[in-house]
Structure 1
Amino acid sequence: MGAGLMQRPSIEAAKELGYKALVIDANPDAVCVPFADRFEKIDLKDTNAIVDFSLSLGKNLCAVFTAGTDFSAPVSLACQKCGFVSHSFESAMNASNKILMRECFKKNKIPSPDFFEADENYINLFQKNKTPEIHFPKVVKPVDNMGARGCRLVRNKDEFLPALKDAVCFSRTKKAIVEDFMEGPEFSIDALVVNGKVIIAGFADRHIFFEPYFVELGHSMPSEISENKKQEIVKVFTDAVHALGLTNGV
């Protein structure tokens, strides 16, 4: 799923393994369309179309996969409908929607900032001074986007409304999450989950710039933190994976 530049390694890897790469994307002129053995114009936001198309391929379809996109949930649903091993659709949604994610963390006592959901109705109430008092700083994010789009630090009331409108605008469901700001370094952890077992594949220090935004310009691997701190973070990460219900996949 996806014919952008970040999908090229996946397309090439599938072909190196002897499979044919059937690529879908809403843009027929996407940069990796020429690398596909077959291309179909399907919007990655159209989950029903993706499931129907996957089922139409019958036994010719060997796997459904994406990398570097926001659309892991449609992958899981298509896999579920086709009988492939994967994360469940519910757990994929937990890992894709920040409100569902934080609710899973809260329920399972995973360290996580306090939060609340905000939408266009909340914006209207806020403009009429009909919302509870907010203590800053906060971080505002779309509930269902990635790559730091629409995400920023809010230091005072004057910055809050513009940030909230941006976050809602960048959300496919027109919802934002407002979280307490947590001071400290950021890390990226990559892992595979196989039958519920979490296998760490990478641990990196993230380099974030352009405050009040959170834009990652790069990362360092191996990390510079101590092994004890690294293992502490990996433990929280692993507990979080289980709290989301992830079982088979990245």
Structure 2
Amino acid sequence: MRDPFSPFTYDLSDRVVLVTGASSGLGARMAKVLATHGAKVALAARRVDRLAQLQRDIEDHGGTAFAVNLDVASEEQTIAAYDAVEAALGPVNTVIANAGIARDLKRATDNPPEDFDTTYAVNLRGVFLTAREGAKRMMAAGSKQSEHGRIVLISSITSFDISPHSTFYSATKAGVSQMGRVLAYDWARMGINVNMIAPGYIQTEINDGLFETDYGRSMLAKWPRRRVIDADALDSTVLFLCSDHSRQITGTVTTVDDGQSLS
């Protein structure tokens, strides 16, 4: 039990964290924040040129990072990525399954089925493959005894809040939240915590230009605070869920949306 009089700090120096979708946006931000707090961070994405720059940025600030090419929809690449990270940094004990795409933003009747297949492959299958392989590695490394395993799945407020013209994205994110709850139950006695973060709208590459459109401006107008979330909004939640302080929290969905879903 933690001493109630001791400072509440995040020392992640014993963490080897794999972050998918790390080449931009939320993934890059989370990787930097985790490295700043001592974690060894594996940067996984398809755009390896961007990962190389991110690795240099982290190392220039005294952190430890390793870039690895990964298409999360491929089981073969997922296994190979974990092998490479383990060889470079040691066994992965923390995973942030962040990789995601949005292919719709128009009526479902106007979307080809191929866009659904692509969205599903990355947003749901990719999250499953990332989490499953991570859990296998954690169990092999003794997570049942250490209770040290942490898996964070990035969902979205669209998983429960109606966002017009986002059928594919919303459905896959709802799947992420429910899948995470089931995985949390299945792995609870194996010392692995599985939690989800459901962010609201943050200005990132995935929604670039959206809030300059009539549709985007109408979204802003209905939100209680009429603003997009700042890039640092998830920092404290990510640090907490990856740390030992979250030892007794699993199967939760934490909404971080500045009240956007209240509208």
- TM-score of Structure 1 vs Structure 2, range by shorter chain: 0.3 to 0.5
Tell which has more relative contact order, 1 or 2 (C-alpha 8 A, sep 6+).
2
Normalised TM-score (structure 1): 0.35
* Structure ranking higher in strand proportion: 1
In terms of Rg, which structure is larger?
1
- TM-score w.r.t. length of structure 2: 0.34
